[in-house]
Amino acid sequence: MLKRFDRDDLVKLWDLVKERFSTTEPTDDKEKALWVELKRLFEPDNDDTLWKLQRYMHDPLEWRIYDTCGVYHVSSVRGHEIFMLVEKEYPLTRGLMTVMLANKLQADQHSEMANELIRKIFYQVNRPRGGLLGIKASQVSTAGYKSFYCWLKKLLLLKIRRNSLSH
C-alpha cells in the first residue's frame, strides 16, 4: 500500500534540505528548485520576487488544498505557482485573495482544514474595512462548505456592481 505524503514527511524533507545546504550551496537545478520552494514554504520572505509576481495571477486560476500535508497551491494559466502552508501568513495581495475566493477551492474531500482556509482568506480580504457588506463572523462559520462559495460569489458580484455604480 502506498503511503500518502503527510505533514511529518514535509517537515522531515525541510529538515534534511536545511541540513544539507547549511554548509554548501545547491548546485544542481533540481536542488536549487527544491531549496527555493521549501524555503518559501517554511520561511517566507516579503522581498522574494515570487510575491511580486502576484500581479500577473488573474482569473482563471486554480486553487487546491492538500490537506494531508497542510499545503495549499495557487496556480495561474500563465504558469505562476505559489505553495503555502495553511497555518502560515503570507504576503498575498487583496486582489489575489479575492480572485482565490471567486474560484472554487479544489479538495479531495470535504475537510475542516479547507473550511478554515476559506475563512482565513475571507477575513484577510475584509480585515481593514470590516465585513463585506455587513457579513458577521457567525454567518461565515455556519455557512455550508459548498453553499459558501455560491453565497460569497453573489456577495462579491454585488460589491463590484455597487462600486461601479458609485463611480
**Structural domain spans, the chain:** 44-166
Task: State the angle between helix axes of 94-102 and 112-126 in degrees (0 to 180), rounded to the nearest 10.
Answer: 140
Q: Which of 55-64, 92-101, 139-148 has the lowest mean pLDDT?
A: 139-148
User: Residue 41: pLDDT above 70?
Assistant: yes
Q: d(Cα 94, Cα 159) in Å, to the nearest integer?
A: 14
What pLDDT is attached to residue 39?
92
Q: d(Cα 63, Cα 98) in Å, to the nearest integer?
A: 12
CA distances from 74 to 19, 83, 98, 158 (A): 28, 7, 12, 25
Range from 28-32, 123-127, 144-148 that averages highest in pLDDT: 28-32
Residue 56's pLDDT band (cuts 50, 70, 90):
confident
Range from 71-75, 121-125, 126-130 that averages highest in pLDDT: 71-75
Q: Are 97 and 121 in contact (CB under 8 A)?
A: yes
What pLDDT is attached to residue 131?
45
Coil vs helix vs strand at 42: helix
Indicate whether this model's pTM tops 0.75.
Answer: no
Residue 11's pLDDT band (cuts 50, 70, 90):
very high
